[in-house]
Structure formats: structure tokens, C-alpha cells
Amino acid sequence: MKSPEDRRRRAHNYLVPRHGLTRREALEQLPARDIRHALANDSLISLGHGLLGPQTNNASPSALHTLQALTAIGGRTVGHETAAALWGLIPVPLGPPYHLIHARGRARTRRSGLVVSHTADVPERFCATYQSIPLTDPAWTWTDLALKLPMLQALILADIAVRPGRTEFGETTGSLTRVSDLRDAAKARGPANGAKTVRTASLLARPGADSPQETTLRYYMYEANLPEPQVNVWLLDEHGRRIVQPDLSVEKYRLAIQYEGQSVHSDPEQVLRDVRRQERTEALGWVEVRITKEHMRHSGAGAVAKITRALRKQGWRS
């Protein structure tokens, strides 16, 4: 004999929305009784006051569904740290508080702890869509973050944004954006606070840097008015074969610069590889300079001094 609770059950004979939405939108698609039924049976879940989304396999409600619901009303665009997390520009998990940009003249979302509201008019060319979520494109997202950062950190983030994947590292994706797009976005920000830093960082950005340390070293060279190095460019032999790929190189003075990792001296095999690399570099008529973490202290004073000495030996004059 069925219990009274069992007699009240009914078939799941309606389609549950597959994305996040507001309760008002849900009522346009389903009768209120179906919404209540879906919530009671966990095929729909509450993502916040007035926000609904489909159940997922995750233990916590889907952040993507929450963003879909939050942006269901026009005039809201995901930006800043939230857009950066979606693009993979910064290594942080996607979660609250979510950053929403509201067009000027539109009401701001007020959900303490869930949403951080910003007001701005984002040019259409810098807008994108990801899984039905309107968000700023990587170039504009970079400017949102860079406006709040010191120069070096803005530049490191810019180099990350324009770095193409390297097949030798098992990476198959291209860069998030191009240097020209960063410069266009920086120009479009106008006279905002921090705009000068953003414009300068966009001019200094170069594709190819594999680590923040490489970008930092290149920036220290820029600050010291040393010749600008190329980033991860192969050195070729007389037959055009790739021989060595230094982190940074100054072709005019045949100087190859390698940034050594912290554990390099503790790994005998790595030491041997470094010796062989230096021999190949010198066989091509180049000079190799190794920079370590110790050289990078005090704003790279040791690194700059070592590179300067090597450049002068190669014929450079400041």
C-alpha cells in the first residue's frame, strides 16, 4: 500500500531548462506547479534569491548556471576577475563573488556576497559570449585587471594573454588575444585611472614568454635602457636547422640569455643539459648568459649588471 507521500507523486513530464535563468524567465517556460515539482525533485535548484538552474553532477551549484541567470536581464556583462577566470587568464576557481558590468543608466545588481557590480559601457567589439553568458573579451578583461595593477604585474598578465600554446609542452590552443587587440583596448579606455600604465604595458607586451620570470627580466632590461631582446626565438645553424632556443636573445650582439630555475643546480641531468646547450650556443658564435633567482633580487640589479657586461663585451655601447 502506497504512503500518502507516494500518492502525491506525479510523472516528470516537462522539460527542465538547461541553463541558469531568473524565476520570471522560468515562469515564461513552465507553469508554477512544474517549477515547484522540479525544485522538490532536485531537477531544478535555487542558485540564489530569484535565480534557478538545472541540477549538475557537482556537489555545489554550477557557477556557469549562476552566471547565466545573473546575466539573463539585458545590460549585464561578466567582467573583471570573473571573466578572467572564464578565459583562463588567471589561475583561480570560478565562484562568487561574481563581477558584473552594468551599462550606464541601468540598475546595478545588489546581491551582497554574490555579486560585485561595476558600471561601464563596454564597446561592442570587446564583448563576447561563452555558453550563453555575455562577457568581456580577453583584451578588455585584461584592461579591467591591469588598471588596478602596478606596471610589472600588468605586463606579466599581458604576456600571458598573448602567449600562444607550445606543442612541445603538449599545448594545442592559440593565444587568448593579440598584442594589437590589447593596444586597441588600452586606447579605448581613455583617461581612466591607471590608463597610462595599461597603455605602456600593452606596448611592451610580446608573445612567447613562458614564465613570469622571463617577462620580469625583460622588463628590467627595458627599465635599464638595454637593447630589447627577442623572446624564445630559435638560433639556427648555417643550414637553417633549429639548434638552441634561449629564453631571451639579442641577435645584433649574439647574446643568448637563459633564466635558470631554482632547482637547476640540484639536478645533475639538468646541469649536463645546460652544459651541452651552452656548448651548442657557443658553437654558433653566440655568448650565453645565465640568470638565476639571486640575480633577480633588488629589482634585478644583478641581472642587469651581468647582461650589461656581456653586451659590452659583444660590442654594445650605451
Q: Which residues on adjacent β-strands are paired with residue 249?
A: 230, 256
Selection from 51, 64, 52 nearest residue 16 by Cα: 52
The b/e string for 209-241 (b: 16+ C-beta within 10 A; e otherwise) is: bbeebbbbbbbbbeebebeebebbeebeeeeee
| Strand-by-strand arrangement of the 51-54 sheet | 21-22, 51-54, 44-48
Of all residues in the chain, what percent carry a pLDDT higher than 70?
81
Per the prediction, the chain carries an average pLDDT of: 85
User: Residue 126 pLDDT more than 60?
Assistant: yes
Selection from 316, 250, 238 nearest residue 287 by Cα: 250
pLDDT tens for 233-273 read 999 999 999 999 999 999 999 999 999 876 545 677 777 88
Confidence band of 5 (pLDDT split at 50, 70, 90): very low
pLDDT tens for 128-170 read 999 889 999 999 999 999 999 999 999 999 999 999 987 776 6
CA distances to 134, 210, 214, 287 from 207, rounded to whole Å, are: 27, 9, 12, 24
Residue 29's pLDDT is: 66
Residue 60's pLDDT is: 45
User: Residue 23 pLDDT more than 80?
Assistant: no
pTM score: 0.81
Task: Count helices and strands (H / E) in the chain.
Answer: 12, 14
pLDDT tens for 85-98 read 999 999 888 888 99
Residue 28's pLDDT is: 63
